[in-house]
Structure 1
Amino acid sequence: MTQDIMTTEMRDARYVMHPLTDARANLQSGSLIIDRGEGIHVYDLAGNRYIEAMAGLWSVGLGFSETRLIEAATRQMERLPYYHPFTQKGHGPMVDLAERLVTMAPVPMSKAFFTNSGSEANDTVIKMLWYRANALGQTCRKKIISRHRAYHGITVAAGSLTGIPANHTGFDLPLPGFLHLTTPHYRRFAQPGESEEDFATRLATELEELILREGPDTIAAFFGEPVMGAGGVIVPPRTYWEKIQAVLARYEILLVADEVICGFGRTGRMFGCETYDIRPDVMVLSKQLSSSYLPISAILLNGKLFEPIADQTHAIGTFGHGFTGGGHPVAAAVAIETLRIIEERDLVAHAAAIGERMQQRLATLADHPLVDEIRGVGLMAAVELTPSRAADPASWPVGALGRRAALHLQQHGVIARSVGDALTFCPPMIIDGAGIDAIVTALRTALDLCLKEMAP
């Protein structure tokens, strides 16, 4: 290791506090420092190459070296490097992006509101829902329904929507008024002999019973990811969304589709809502919107949400909410170019085709002794592992095998992510068959090494 590499890693451990990281462990061992990226690959400071099989954070859909995005950012920097949307001001890139997103939405939408991240967007939607309830005189309609294992962000409000214990513990979350239902994971939570459709019916009944118990006039909205991403790529059981939407419609409860991970081709359709015939009142977009080259997120809201808010802002004189960087012209210009590239290169169809190959190749691991379940849709998947073949399974607490397998995988040139004992995969949409094959080959090697370590 060169002195420069050592210096950077030491400075990282000394000065940087990392998200979703054991801070003490980072002080002891430091982080993998990524130096550059090209296509589906990233390189560390020593020049080691890795397939980024998580597209960063489910997000770098166009890979790490798309020159058109760099050029779009440069052009906009030279013309207007910054402006804001406050107090009836705006700029061309924001208007162009808003028009494009509203018109491409799979259901009628009225307006786009811009923020900088999925967390900020979901936090903003919560505030909009509360604002709308007050505007309509429904001052009790403030409760929000989400699901266990859901991930909707990490602000105080969005973190309360999230249903992952690690994002709550130590933070005094969730806040009151945030309600969580059963994770729609058929293999994990179905009762003996229960079909997928019966499981979906039971979860819809659970939703209705919660609504009646809390009082329909107290529930503002239901938030859901079409496919639950950070919770472990949980694919909904058959008829789930059909039945959930029927319950929500019965009690006039708004539906918010969190498309932060699923949007822009990840499920093999432009939006996850199209894959599962979801008709939301609100769509939350981010990540692949700009291929994460710059931070940007968007809220698409329909007339049911917008019109009462507009009336209330007129009565008050303002909508007292916004972010300095919301609708940033450079980020908006990059997002517009990202959407052009996705369309011109037909990357949604490519993601569907190459995603089918990924699902088929991962399925060849189903007979591995450490594999419990393989699940996914489009170009996102999870391989759930089990330590049952270990000489002493109790010595492998939940998450230990997933972390060990992810480490072996990284040492063999593939970066994935462990969620408990599941390894999740969400590679850039530009990946080809050779890239998919390389991921699966490395994964088999990693699993074999884990099995060897667990032997008596």
Structure 2
Amino acid sequence: MSNVKLKNSTTELRDLDALHHLHPFTDHKSLRSGGARVIVKGDGPYVWDSEGHRILDGMAGLWTTNVGYGRSELADAARDQMLELPFYNTFFRTTHPPVVALSQKLAGITPAHINQVFYGSSGSESNDTAIRLIRHYWTLKGEPKRRIIISRKNAYHGSTIAAGSMGGMGHVHKHSYPVYEGFRHIMDPCWFDEGQDGESLEAFGLRAARALEDEILAVGPENVAAFAGEPVQGAGGVKIAPPSYWKEIQRIVDTYGILLLADEVITGFGRLGTWFASDYYGIKPNIITFAKAVTSGYLPLSGILVDDRIVAALMDHDDDFNHGYTFSGHPVACAVALKNIEIMERENLVARVADYGAPALAKLLARFEDHPLVGEVRSVGMMGAIELVADKRTRRRFDNPGRVGLICRDHFFREGFIMRAVFDTMVCAPPLIWGDGEFAEAERVIGRALDLTLADVAGEIAA
């Protein structure tokens, strides 16, 4: 079946998919009735489906393909490493050149206080690892009661039971049977959803951050291990905190001596115009989790970046940290990650986001602020969101959250542009290689998709 894409028609591929493939985060009954879109090719900022349609990828795969598709250098790096050493584990006091080289490279582009890496294969694995290491750290420090990790509503930290429990998404919790104990969730720092009339962004950011201090005091500082947060809440709807927020969060974690976990599975590797969003916001996390764009999605690889404080505690005790994965530090994935970072450095993609991509995306989205369907547009770096509302004046959303978002998403797909719907928030995170042509094409499609959606729901829009 290795050449199935050549032998089978689109209909046959969809039928086979329905017979044998369970998709992630999917209503399987609905999928079976409509069939999956079959993607067969990618090149630069575009993908093609099995019916020959070229589609501008506004989501970088899944917040992932920062250097775009079809990079032969990444394929060559994988092939060369497969012929040299396709696999060996990093258990049993064993290492290999690619994992050593990548670890050194990562230590060089992370904040100065972070110098160690532990590897996995997905963002969920990374956050599971972080949960275990955080609690292990406090046990080593003689404070085993510090087990509570505080996160935020609408946070996404993965879909394993532990990482899903740390996240703040109710539809993920619903399938955990039950949600693991030891996690608390505070308000998210999105003014559009949580801000009060007349409240400044600065005041709102401080109020949202101080919800952390309130929760710490409510459960007892002696019981709190860490605060976990995405610098920008991606899968929750590109929720961007006001400038006052992260500075106050840092003050609070420092005041109570708890650890700070920055989940950079989405924001790492250039998306905000810095290698890591922790640098963009000026915070000093003890752990950074990463995945996705470290290889631009060409192979699965993830990890946690660990600061000197936690490493010192590990070094002070002569015992095992009993945790790991078969594919921790996989040599082929590490070789591809090294080449991916090399490409990003050679093409100055991180600086390009700061100097060109971020302003261009902000300008693009601002063109639609006055559209009758749009309640707000927002962006930071190469991440953006468009809020779809029934009433612009009051920010009132549509009935049955997600219904209008899916209508709009389908119009985007039909018009040749991938934009994701998070309930009724349309989000994008383009490859970092977008240029003037892609931004112009996106502007045309966004306008068309919003107009088509407005025509579908015109009777529900407030006058």
Output the TM-score relative to the length of structure 1.
0.96
Q: Could you tell me which of 378, 381, 385 is aligned with 1:382?
A: 385
Contact 1:51–1:414 (Cα < 8 Å) also in 2: yes
1:103 aligns with 2:108: yes
Contact 1:128–1:309 (Cα < 8 Å) also in 2: no
Contact 1:131–1:309 (Cα < 8 Å) also in 2: no
Shift of residue 104, structure 1, vs aligned partner = 1.4
1:130 aligns with 2:135: yes
1:87 aligns with 2:89: no
Mean Cα deviation higher: 394-403 or 255-264 = 394-403
Mean Cα deviation higher: 351-360 or 340-349 = 351-360
- TM superposition outliers: structure 1 runs of 4+ over 2 Å: 170-174, 309-312, 393-396
Q: Within 2, Cα distance between the matches of 1:137 and 1:436?
A: 54
- Per the alignment, residue 74 of structure 1 pairs with 79
Gaps of 5+ in 1: none
Shift of residue 173, structure 1, vs aligned partner = 4.8
- Equivalent pairs counted in the alignment come to 449
Gaps of 5+ in 2: 1-6
- Per the alignment, residue 187 of structure 1 pairs with 192
Mean Cα deviation higher: 230-239 or 195-204 = 195-204
Contact 2:114–2:306 (Cα < 8 Å) also in 1: yes
Contact 2:365–2:378 (Cα < 8 Å) also in 1: no
- Per the alignment, residue 4 of structure 2 pairs with none
Counterpart residue identity of residue 416, structure 2? G
Q: Within 2, Cα distance between the matches of 1:245 and 1:362?
A: 30
Q: Could you tell me which of 353, 371, 383 is aligned with 1:351?
A: 353
- Per the alignment, residue 286 of structure 1 pairs with 291
Q: Within 1, Cα distance between the matches of 2:112 and 2:366?
A: 34
SS in 2 for 1:384: strand
Alignment of 1:116-127 (within 5 A): 116-127=121-132
- Per the alignment, residue 304 of structure 1 pairs with 309
Q: Within 2, Cα distance between the matches of 1:396 and 1:201?
A: 31
Q: Within 2, Cα distance between the matches of 1:453 and 1:104?
A: 48
Counterpart residue identity of residue 327, structure 1? G
Q: Within 1, Cα distance between the matches of 2:84 and 2:397?
A: 61
- Per the alignment, residue 24 of structure 1 pairs with 29
Q: Could you tell me which of 422, 425, 428 is aligned with 1:422?
A: 425
Contact 2:375–2:391 (Cα < 8 Å) also in 1: no
Q: Could you tell me which of 164, 169, 172 is aligned with 1:167?
A: 172
1:401 aligns with 2:404: yes
Q: Within 1, Cα distance between the matches of 2:209 and 2:458?
A: 43
Counterpart residue identity of residue 218, structure 1? N
The CA deviation string for residues 178-227 of structure 1, in whole angstroms up to 9 with x for no partner, is 01110100122122222122112222322112111111111111111111
- Per the alignment, residue 326 of structure 2 pairs with 324
1:258 aligns with 2:263: yes
Q: Within 2, Cα distance between the matches of 1:207 and 1:45?
A: 48
The CA deviation string for residues 362-395 of structure 1, in whole angstroms up to 9 with x for no partner, is 1101111000110110111011101349xxx998
Q: Within 1, Cα distance between the matches of 2:44 and 2:118?
A: 31
- Per the alignment, residue 213 of structure 1 pairs with 218
Alignment of 1:143-154 (within 5 A): 143-154=148-159
Q: Within 2, Cα distance between the matches of 1:282 and 1:299?
A: 6
Contact 2:238–2:385 (Cα < 8 Å) also in 1: yes
Q: Could you tell me which of 435, 440, 446 is aligned with 1:437?
A: 440
Q: Within 2, Cα distance between the matches of 1:386 and 1:437?
A: 25
1:239 aligns with 2:244: yes
Output the TM-score relative to the length of structure 2.
0.94
- Per the alignment, residue 59 of structure 2 pairs with 54
